Amino acid sequence: MAGKTATATTRGNGSSAAADKEQTTFSEHTPQGRLTTQRGLYAGPAPVVSKDLYGEVQAGVVTRKRDSVSLEESARVSGNTYFGRFPASYWQRWTTVREVRAELVVTGSGLVAVRASDFEGEPRTVAAQEIDGAKKLAVSFDLKLDKFLDGGALWLDLETEAGQQLTAERVRWTVEPPEKIRPTAVTICTMNRADDCLKNLQALAGDISSLDTLDAIYVADQGTDRVESRDGFAEVSAALGEKLHYITQPNLGGAGGFTRGLYEVAGHTDTEHANVLFMDDDVLLEPDLVIRMTAFSNRAANPVIVGGQMLNLLHPHQLHVGAEYARLNTLEPGMPVEHSLSTANLLGVDEETGKPNKQERRLDAGYNGWWSCLIPYEVVREVGYPMPFFFQWDDAEYSYRAREHGFPTVTLPGAGVWHADFHWKDWDEWHRYFNLRNSIITAALHSEFNVNVLARVLTAQLVRYLLGMQYGLTHTLIKAVEDFLEGPDILRDGGVAAMQEIREIRARYPETKRYDPTEVPGIASNDIGIINGGGRPALQRLVLVKRIVDRLRGRSRFGLGAIPMDEASWWHVALFDTAVVTDANQEGVRVRKYDRDRMFELGKHGLRTINRLRKEGRAVQAQYKRAMPQLTSRENWQRLYEL
């Protein structure tokens, strides 16, 4: 088991010998009984989460609580829900388990049934038991995992008839344990989101008695508004005790925060069979995620990266994507794999098929976002640490590098956290620099890196940004390409200087600033009226040429107008002298003004830079490949952490 300390460890970035002695030492556990793969829960971690994601009431009066469900007479509740389903297909494909046990404790009378689906979603009953007058009766079903290879899940259904009442509690899905249990550390990277981070620590502390496989929690605090400054921190530290390690360090972005957990575990482990579970600071956490992901990793036939799914925080019933991949050479992340749900209402039905939105087919992911992602230590030993990207594409790069060494990524259904909806974040922000620069580096490291294709992609983006009067975003693109061409030295400081520089560059461009819609500088609020677009043009290339010619000649159709966020496409914005565009977060507006001189200046600068990429890209690619072992080494991260 893990070595013990008396209280939570708090450290700055300069680690001392005394602090090292307080560290958890990671060792494998001897299993104590069967391994819990997931709990049967009937309510979420917060009231904003629909209980229908856990147990669906199909008839009658049902009382759903976190760890129990009670049915009045003539009622029916189904576990065929996002969190209620056991992902049988994934367990059959990726683990050595061939039988799972559904366990529960029941009181009263009614029917308990285990049902299953196949890859087409067709249900079948695989086991059932009538309950009559039970009092805290333990019921279990041993279920074969043998007909789920292409897809399908298992779940529990409960029913009562007239005159019956039934309560089920302590629902568990368990399997035979491995010979040894992997120690696991959760790593939370935080940057000036002290309240959000504290809430997730409190969620873990509130469920810590159930998280048997969790040995340590590392908080890498990179902000100026520290988590430790909050009133509730002392209480949660006492609750987590020896498990909590609070570290302050320089701001090295998400890559630096998450990598700190890998760094600490690697430096204090007696076994290579350890896990590090990355978790964002601003998620709404379902603590059962820890149980589900660690259990899956513990029984995996071979080490794999285990990814959790993301649900949209502003729309808690929506699944962001079932599994995703990246088109590396065209710089396109977040592509749903074939048959994947995407921005799907988990309580609704597919508009085309009329079937419920359940992920029945098993999917192979290309990578998984680090909102929740478990990385086995064997992967780190083989492929090294993440790239010092600071922010964006670090997750994709690491998964694709790991895959090249024989470690795939598995995105596990039902292991979900709620994260801020991506489409409510505006694209025209400073972090777009890191998205572009790091995507090009990732393409150079892990794709064919066809520089002609890449140049066409970047040129198309350049033209769209210029037509849309996004001059700051255009400069952001140019800077990203130029810094890629600087070679691996641009990553030497982990991205700190680049973050400061791109913010300074963008501050020169007025349209990068957000305003209250009634307080737009130089424009009377009553003069701003909405001018809607006509939708995507049928002859897009012809329209593109026309818009370019009009812009070059300084011609426009509208002097001033407001444009809703979802209609702010280049073909519509290019018709304006001044466009007041709603920000994606719906909190304000940006003012885009046509500037012919800036357009010409940035256009020429951008084309020269992209042409440099076409000519020099292959040579620079070779530089990054040579530098990757050093950039991803423990010694490099030790230097960045100033240890």
For residue 113, the cross-strand partners are 128, 157
Tokens 């073909």 found at: 571
Q: Are 279 and 417 in contact (CB under 8 A)?
A: yes
* Helix axes 253-267 and 394-404, enclosed angle (nearest 10): 50
Rounded-to-integer distance, Cα 31 and Cα 626, Å:
43
529-559 burial code (b ≥16 CB/10 A, e <16): eebebeeebeeeeeebeebeeebeeeeeeee
Q: Are 480 and 437 in contact (CB under 8 A)?
A: yes
395 in active site:
yes
Could you tell me the two tokens for 349?
Answer: 């039905």
For residue 68, the cross-strand partners are 169
For residue 35, the cross-strand partners are 175
Neighbours of 605 (CB within 10 A): 15
Shortest CA distance to 10 belongs to which of 285, 226, 231, 255? 226
Select which of 282, 395, 426, 483 is catalytic.
395
Amino acid at 271: T
Could you tell me the two tokens for 125?
Answer: 């009953």
For residue 189, the cross-strand partners are 220, 280
415 burial via Cβ count (<10 Å: 0-12, 13-18, 19+)? buried
Could you tell me the two tokens for 352?
Answer: 């085309």
For residue 591, the cross-strand partners are 580
Residues tagged active-site? 395
